[in-house]
Structure 1
Amino acid sequence: MTEDISVIMSVYNEKISEVSESIESILDQSIMPTEFLIVLDNPKNIKLKEYLESMQTNNSIIELIINKTNIGLAASLNKGIKLSKCSLIARMDADDISMKDRFKEELEVMRTQNADIVSTNCVYIDEESKVIGKKKAIPTKSKDIAKILPIGSSIVHPSVLIKKSVFNECGVYRDFYTAEDYDLWLRCLSKNKKIISINKSLLKYRIRAQSMTQSNYFLVFLTANYQRKLYKERTKNRDNQDSFSKESYEHYLRNAGYYSSVKKKSFSKKLDEFNQAVKSLKEKRFRSAAQSLCKSISSIDMVRYVTYFIRYQILVLGIRR
């Protein structure tokens, strides 16, 4: 059975074995998409290019789009969305794996609950595709997700099924260095779009041993703060507009110290202390947790980080109960 779904995937430098698992998991869906748009954002990767070309030749629903140069994830996804022909867009990452009934269950929820966006829970896999953990229970109701989103996101981006009309109304991915999906969800919230999640692991999400560096953690933190600022602007403006521009984003990062190696190292060190505090707390080593926490919140950035973390955890815990 085929449904009116366009799957959008951007590929850069992933291993062919990982991309193969990802593609096959889409081709093996119990409900098939109409088209599968794969955007290759690294035309210099000849082996990957040849593999994807062979997959396109052997599968009628696959359409390969090759960027002339590297344009980044957000722009590549936007290109796929623009070229898509279906009323529904399914996201997929090139190194993740969709469960067989992912689309079937997402479609059922979207139709029965009249949702604009549906996401799912996930399990975590390593670089050998072995399951190494499971994401905690996520909020499922639209009102709960809407309550949490201004604090943090529980939405698993590569699991999302979204109406194409949402992009037409809310806009596509904007040009951030990271967390472009969080900005999109906040803009959807500003437009009162209905977001539902399925608390079932319908995606295998790959975790890499060295997936995040000192610079990455600080960048995600600052970018999310900037995106929250834009959300607050929209709530105050009758026209629902914000002041986003690449220049203002860069200005924000500069003023926040992103380009200072000292601030990056300091943030990373304090974040390690906070993570140790959380670990000690789980192990009921309360004195050690208190010591690590005190060391971690010795900067305004970490005070803000810890505040958002605690607020998010309290909201999610309250919903679970």
Structure 2
Amino acid sequence: MRDPELTVLVTVYDKISPAHLRASLASIHSQTVEPADIVVVEDGPLPAALRAVLDSSPDLRRFSLPRNLGASAASQRGLEEVRTRWLARQDADDISLPHRFERQLDRARALEVDVLGAAVLEFDTDPEEPRALRALPTTHETIRRYARINNPVNNPTLLARTDAIRAVGGYRNVPYQEDYDLMIRLLGAGYRFYNLPEPLAKFRVTDEQFTRRKSRELTASERTIQRTLVASGLVSRPRAVANYVARTAYRRLPATAMIAAYRRLFHR
């Protein structure tokens, strides 16, 4: 069964494993409620093996960027092509559980919310052997408070009203934090949130992701995040400065210490 109000947006770039992309797309096609549309944005030229996976997957609407511009530009390009009321995100190397879309659409409609996420099962190499549960605050008010310090929605489970995303300006160029930036602006504009406590996706977490968190580009993005928090009325300027210091200090930890801190903060 397909839901005529749902589009899934997937962005893919040349570093994604073909096997991971194949599994991710298969999890979309295996849903108890499938989307009406699957929009795939190729973020720059892809190697032949990735193109072959996309060529063999049915019912994709594909769009390409001339060069690798990053997740924010690719996401915004995909947003331009969405024709349905609801937009779901799917990372190109993550896996949605078979009932994800059915469960999320039912709850979003019943609760009359604009943005709905869920918990995720984190894994490294084998999705059949998750190593941790990452669950975030559930109610709108607890989500709003949590957004002062971190992204309040697990992006591989994001379901949101398309018109809400467009109303706040869509995806902006905030490298590695474009999803958090969008959630802040949606909260600041008064849109209603909810997170399901149950896991509805399997999220790939590798040591390489922690290495990327040390980049200068991410440090610059943090300044944008804190300015957006202030502009959206979620934090005061002094709190934004404290956030910036704390989050920058976290990223300067040795990789092993950073991973240990991450597990203490997010794993259940």
When the two structures are superposed, what TM-score results if normalisation uses the length of structure 2? 0.84
Task: Name the residue aligned to 2:33.
Answer: 31
Match of 1:185, as an amino acid? M
Task: Name the residue aligned to 1:10.
Answer: 11
Task: Name the residue aligned to 2:148.
Answer: 150
Task: Name the residue aligned to 2:242.
Answer: none
Match of 2:117, as an amino acid? S
Distance change in 2, residues 1:153/1:278 (3 Å)? closer
In structure 2, distance between residues paired with 1:128 and 1:40: 25
In structure 1, distance between residues paired with 2:21 and 2:10: 10
Distance change in 2, residues 1:222/1:34 (3 Å)? same
1:184 aligns with 2:185: no
Query: CA RMSD for the aligned pairs?
Result: 2.9
In structure 2, distance between residues paired with 1:115 and 1:73: 26
1:1-321 matched pairs, under 5 angstroms: 1-3=1-3, 4-12=5-13, 13-55=15-57, 59=58, 61-213=59-211, 216=214, 220=218, 223-235=221-233, 267-269=252-254
**Deviation at residue 117 of structure 1 after TM alignment:** 0.5
Contact 2:117 2:196 in 1 (8 A): yes
In structure 2, distance between residues paired with 1:152 and 1:222: 16
User: Rg larger in 1 or in 2?
Assistant: 1
Bigger RCO of structures 1 and 2 (CA < 8 A, at least 6 apart): 2
Higher strand proportion: 2
Any stretches of 5+ residues in structure 1 without a counterpart?
237-255, 257-262, 283-312
Aligned length: 253
Contact 2:117 2:153 in 1 (8 A): yes
When the two structures are superposed, what TM-score results if normalisation uses the length of structure 1? 0.71
Task: Name the residue aligned to 1:252.
Answer: none
Contact 1:117 1:162 in 2 (8 A): yes
Please state whether the residue corresponding to 2:87 is helix, strand or coil.
strand
Distance change in 2, residues 1:277/1:95 (3 Å)? closer
Please state whether the residue corresponding to 2:130 is helix, strand or coil.
strand
Percent of residue pairs identical: 22
**Deviation at residue 213 of structure 1 after TM alignment:** 1.4
**Deviation at residue 180 of structure 1 after TM alignment:** 0.7
In structure 2, distance between residues paired with 1:146 and 1:272: 30
